[in-house]
Amino acid sequence: MKLKFGALVVIAAMIGLVAPLQATTAKKAESQVGKKVASKPASKLAAKPRTKKVVHVASKTKGAKGTKVTKNSRRQVIANQANSPVRTIANDIDPGRLAIHSSSALVIDQTTGQIVLEKQPDTVVPIASITKLMTAMVVLDAGLDLHEVIAINDEDVDWLKGTRSRLPVGTTMTRETAMLLALMSSENRAANALGRHYPGGLPAFVQAMNRKAASLGMYSSRFEEPTGLSSNNVSTAHDLARMVIAAARYPEIRNYSTTAEARLEIKGRARDFGNTNALVRNDNWEIGISKTGYISEAGRCLVMQAHVAGKPVVIVLLDSNGKMTRVGDANRIKRWMESASVASGRRSA
């Protein structure tokens, strides 16, 4: 892929405060183990090793149906962007060492606001479960009781695409547990339940999502529902970078989105839930906030706030056409930035 080098661009319109990166996953897990997550009946998180959580919930089982959605829109995006150039600011690094396979990408140095790398950063595309970061912010902004028990019902079932869930209809849990599962394991029923239990229900919740987006300067973004299952939830890499920086201000989002795994007891049976981003379990990464996403129209997506080469950065990767492409792109970006840092250090010496 041919690369072109561009000038530094300062994003002055982005969030003024730079959200502090949290420590490693171990610290996050340690801070969470002592939290009370009530359900019916109320219970406490057990002191499982490192990042495991145990939550007791009640449930009853009910079936679900779904329908298929066309993939033509995503295929067209891939065809149009396959040869899009990547622009970087590290013009002393061999461009052949950095191949980004996601259709849209953006890396920003949070300290300076400078763009480190960009590829189609203003293309409007579906964002899938990246949506859940906005869902969590709206819930937290409303100051709703995180220990209030909410229930999964038929309205939370994915009738659009027929995706499966490990939370049967009738499951009850606290709002805090629902947020954990939505951010960590990308549980769609948990995310929809969060929106449904908002004052005024889902219509009011969606309005609040779009108001929040506008307040953050996400002018190319639109939200239709709280899970990301709808391809009408759209944004750009630039807008999502704004959203990641804003979401990183919330301790709950930082903690829950980077929790590696949790154990949920449903009707006396323990079920393990894992983070959809394998990089949170990688000791080579120091991640402060994380969210993945996937529907056929959006491809594989990943947003993170992390420390890379000694810098706090925001990474946005959208429409990766392959199960491991987004992780591969993230690792390539990390190695590339570390190489640039080493080269810069040698010149300074």
Active site (annotated) includes residue 186: yes
Please give the pLDDT value at position 340: 80
Token pair, residue 294, equals 């996937």
Please give the pLDDT value at position 265: 83
Q: What is the CATH number of the domain that holds 302?
A: 3.40.710.10
Catalytic residue among 102, 103, 129, 257: 129
Q: Which string of DSSP letters, residue by residue, matches 226-283?
A: SSS-STT-EE-HHHHHHHHHHHTT-HHHHHHHT--EEEEEETTEEEEEE-S-GGGG-T
Identify which of 341, 293, 270, 305 has the alpha carbon closest to the alpha carbon of residue 110.
305
CB atoms under 10 Å from CB of 300, counted, come to 22
Please give the pLDDT value at position 168: 93
Which residues lie closer than 8 Å to 209 by C-beta, 6 or more apart?
A: 134, 135, 138, 223, 226
**Residue 138 DSSP one-character state:** H
Please give the pLDDT value at position 97: 61
Please give the pLDDT value at position 72: 54
Strand 261-266 with 54-57, pairing: parallel
Catalytic residue among 28, 132, 291, 334: 132
Token pair, residue 5, equals 């080098």
Active site (annotated) includes residue 129: yes
Domains held by the chain: number: 1
The H-assigned helical ranges of 142-250 are 175-184, 188-196, 201-215, 237-247
* pLDDT, one tens digit for every residue, the chain (349 residues): 333 333 333 333 333 434 444 433 334 444 443 333 333 333 333 333 344 454 545 444 333 333 343 455 444 544 444 456 676 654 444 445 688 999 999 999 999 999 999 999 999 999 999 999 999 999 999 999 999 999 999 999 999 999 999 999 999 999 999 999 999 999 999 999 999 999 999 999 999 999 999 999 999 999 999 999 999 999 999 999 999 999 999 999 999 999 999 998 876 789 999 999 999 999 999 999 999 999 999 999 999 999 999 999 999 999 998 888 999 999 999 999 998 865 555 454 4
Please give the pLDDT value at position 306: 98
The span from the CA of 309 to the CA of 323, in Å, is 26
The span from the CA of 300 to the CA of 202, in Å, is 26
pTM of the full predicted structure? 0.77
Which residues lie closer than 8 Å to 152 by C-beta, 6 or more apart?
A: 59, 167, 168, 169, 170, 171, 172, 173, 189, 190, 193
Which residues lie closer than 8 Å to 218 by C-beta, 6 or more apart?
A: 235, 239, 240, 242, 243
Q: Which domain holds residue 86?
A: 3-348
Question: With helix as H, strand as E and coil as C, how does 15-67 read?
Answer: CCCCCCCCCCHHHHHHHHHCCCCCCCCCCCCCCCCCCCCEEEEECCCCCCCCC
Catalytic residue among 59, 102, 103, 186: 186
Active site (annotated) includes residue 215: no
The span from the CA of 95 to the CA of 110, in Å, is 23
